[in-house]
Each structure stands twice: as structure tokens, then as C-alpha cells.
């Protein structure tokens, strides 16, 4: 199967699962699938700059990265549709919500560190696409936390993908303009 066909199958599946729950981008009517497509786009561009990169695998993980965390899809269902490797990748990107909120990112990064580089690349791509102009409803504190978290992701996932790390550095710098804090 060509990568374009793999892309279409994965985005249709994920888009539908998020759409039945009426999920949109924050403070917007734009369907959630736009976020998924943005992450996949980052992965496709990064793939063209990266040696030994499994693009077919990474693109599926990118498009499906939020279905376990945000929709009713179970790991078993996902595995039936997309296989165990893709499912393991998505699971590594899924927060353990039974933990206290401030421990979730640490736990998630620990699990990502033992994942293949394509899965870690999706985490970088996810944060890159999310560091656009913040929603108007976000407080300065929330933006600051988000920025700190982005720096933690960059630090902990160093050595994953040079191209995406550079992109994330740039996005962190740009995003700091929306935040009021002496540190930035």
C-alpha cells in the first residue's frame, strides 16, 4: 500500500472517532482532525530530512495519537485495525490519567524514552503544532505551564530527531512572546 492510502485510512478513522464526540480545536469550530493532519504534516516534512525513518509507521501513529486518550476507542480495537506496533506507539503517547495531573507528563516522557524514535518524533511534532498562538481563554499561568512543559519535552527527548528539535526550539521562542514572565 502507498503511504497516501495509509494516510487516508488512518485520518478517516481518527477524524470520525473525534468527530462523533464533537471535538474541535480549542475555542474554535474547526474539526479536531485538523490537529491530527498538522502533526502528520510535521512528520512528513521531518521524514524527508531524516535517515532511517519509518514514515509509514510514524504517519499512522501521528494521525491516531489522540484516539486512546480522547475517544472511546480501546487499545484492542486499535490493534485490530492498525496492528500492535502502531497501537503500542499510540499507547506510549497516551497520558495515564489515573496519576495526579502534574505526574502525567513525567510518566509519559519516561515511557516515550523507551519507545522507538518515530514515536518520540510524534511527541515533538504534536507540541510543535500546539505552540501556535494560544486560545484567548488561556491565562498567562496556563501559557507559562505549557511553555515549561514544552521545554521539558525538548530536554527529555533530546537526540530523537534533529530537524524536529530545531523546529520545537524555534516554536518555544516564538510562543514566549505570548507569555509575561521575566524568565522568557
- In terms of CB distance, is 12 or 181 closer to Ni ion? 12
Cell numbers given for 154: 525538548
Nearest to 93 by CA among 79, 72, 74, 107: 107
**Environment class of 31 (CB within 10 Å of its CB; exposed 0-12, middle 13-18, buried 19+):** middle
- In terms of CB distance, is 126 or 165 closer to Ni ion? 126
Site residues (CB under 5 A) for Ni ion, limited to 82-121: none
- In terms of CB distance, is 91 or 126 closer to Ni ion? 126
**Among residues 91, 118, 126, 165, the one that binds Ni ion under rule CB under 5 A:** 126
Over the window 127 to 166, marking each residue x when it contacts Ni ion by CB under 5 A and - when it does not, the resulting string is ----------------------------------------
27 backbone φψ class: left, alpha, beta (φ>0; ψ -120 to 50) = left
Query: Which residues are near Ni ion by CB under 5 A?
Result: 66, 126
Amino acid at each position: 500500500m502507498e503511504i497516501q492510502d495509509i494516510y487516508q485510512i488512518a485520518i478517516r478513522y481518527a477524524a470520525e472517532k473525534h468527530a462523533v464526540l464533537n471535538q474541535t480545536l480549542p475555542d474554535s469550530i474547526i474539526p479536531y482532525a485538523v490537529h491530527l493532519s498538522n502533526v502528520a504534516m510535521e512528520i512528513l516534512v521531518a521524514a524527508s530530512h531524516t535517515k532511517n525513518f519509518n514514515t509509514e509507521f510514524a504517519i499512522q501513529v501521528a494521525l491516531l495519537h489522540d484516539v486512546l486518550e480522547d475517544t472511546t476507542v480501546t487499545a484492542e480495537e486499535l490493534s485490530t485495525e492498525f496492528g500492535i506496533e502502531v497501537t503500542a506507539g499510540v499507547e506510549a503517547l497516551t497520558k495515564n490519567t489515573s496519576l495526579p495531573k502534574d505526574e502525567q507528563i513525567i510518566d509519559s516522557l519516561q515511557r516515550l524514552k523507551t519507545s522507538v524514535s518515530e514515536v518520540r518524533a510524534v511527541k515533538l511534532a504534536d507540541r510543535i503544532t500546539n505552540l501556535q498562538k494560544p486560545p484567548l481563554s488561556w491565562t498567562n499561568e496556563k501559557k507559562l505551564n505549557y511553555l515549561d512543559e514544552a521545554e521539558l519535552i525538548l530536554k527529555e527527548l533530546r537526540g530523537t530527531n534533529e530537524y524536529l528539535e530545531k523546529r520545537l526550539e524555534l516554536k518555544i521562542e516564538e510562543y514566549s512572546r505570548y507569555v509575561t514572565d521575566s524568565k522568557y
